[in-house]
Structure 1
Amino acid sequence: MNRILLRLAVLAKALDGGLQVLAALLLAAVPPAVITGAANAVISRDLVGDHNGTLAHHLSRAAYSLAEGRTFAVVFLLAHGLVKLGIAWALHRRMVAVYPAVCAALSLFVGYEVVRGIRTGSVGLFAFALLDTLVIAVIARAYLRERQPVQVP
């Protein structure tokens, strides 16, 4: 069961990291006007309900914030994605010696995601923080299990 959880954590980190790298590259290529234009198109076509409603307000604010803070988003997604791909590679190779460093790196990401999420109200950052926290727990458990001395019968 532990190996299955670890493999799922590796898969989650690899997919998460790969998607973040792709999102960073896409975001770097898309002009800010396209981002805000797409959000306005969704809002104006009644796809989110009331134009002045909560969902429309959050979508509009998120698009504007993303367009304004695009450089930060690209750098964050690219760095976060590359680190997570490295973590997935180390976990896949079962490099037990780096598991504590992996947990430390993910803990830094969690701390940053929570602080930034509180400041910006970003639900996405809280989702990343939750996923990273679950992966830390799985990695720590695998590390403790791997470090236990083998008992010879």
Structure 2
Amino acid sequence: MARVGFLERTFRVSVVLKGIDGVLELVGGILLLFLTPERIGAVVRFLTQHELGQDPDDPVANALVRASHQLTGSATLFGAIYLLLHGVVKVVLVWAVLRRRFWAYPWMIGFLVVFILWQCWELSRHASWGLVALTLFDILVVALTVREWRVQRRLRAEPAAQPSE
């Protein structure tokens, strides 16, 4: 049995995390399809009331409440479609890469590079530590996916091992 190296293990863990993210995006997209902006606001108020009761200046809770007040029906529909499409693509690509489907590696790389570029553009408009962390994680996943794609390409190019007599 072949020994799994640190980089391959890191690659697998990071891709699985991307898959979990994709599933969460699907769940979020489905929820946005069925929740009105008013209902989302009520849920956000319910989830943040304890924290705001303890610390009325909590920046995260206040940002969530402000964001929920600005939601419109078209914004939630756009968010739902975005999350559903992004989640489906991510889950399919993660599944294919974990199954070592050769075609999926360049698609995964391209998909993530497009989102890294978009995230960098968003960072130039308004920086946030969360978006910085996500962008750095995506860069790591791209680098590991490129490495794994090269490994898989090399393995495919090698002739099958001949049994020795």
State whether TM-score is above 0.5.
yes
For 2:108, the equivalent position in structure 1 comes to 102
Secondary structure in 1 matching 2:137: helix
Unaligned runs of 5+ in 2: none
- 8 Å CA contact 2:29, 2:80 repeated in 1: yes
Q: Distance in 1 between matches of 2:130 and 2:140?
A: 16
Structure 2 equivalent of residue 8 of structure 1: 13
Sequence identity of aligned pairs in percent? 28
Alignment of 1:39-50 (within 5 A): 39-43=44-48, 45-48=49-52, 49-50=54-55
Equivalent AA in structure 2 for residue 85 of structure 1: V
**Of 15, 23, 34, which aligns to 1:18?**
23
Larger-Rg structure: 2
Q: Which aligned pairs between 1:17-96 and structure 2 lie closer than 5 A?
A: 17-43=22-48, 45-48=49-52, 49-52=54-57, 54-65=59-70, 67-68=71-72, 69-96=75-102
Letter of the aligned partner of 1:75 in structure 2?
I
Q: RMSD of the alignment, in Å?
A: 2.8
Residue 117 of structure 1 deviates from its aligned partner by: 5.3
Q: Deviations over 1:60-102 (max 9, x none)?
A: 223234x232122112211110110111122022123431232
Structure 1 gap segments, 5+ residues each: none
> Higher mean Cα deviation, 18-27 or 115-124?
115-124
Q: 1:123 to 1:73 in 2, by over 3 A?
A: farther
Q: Say if 1:98 and 1:40 are closer, same or farther in 2 by CA, change over 3 A.
A: closer
Taking structure 2 as the reference length, what is the TM-score of the superposition?
0.72
Superposition TM-score, scaled by structure 1 size: 0.77
- What amino acid maps onto 1:7 in structure 2? R
Paired residues, number: 150
By how many angstroms is 1:110 displaced?
1.8
Alignment CA distance shift 1:128-1:62 (3 Å): farther
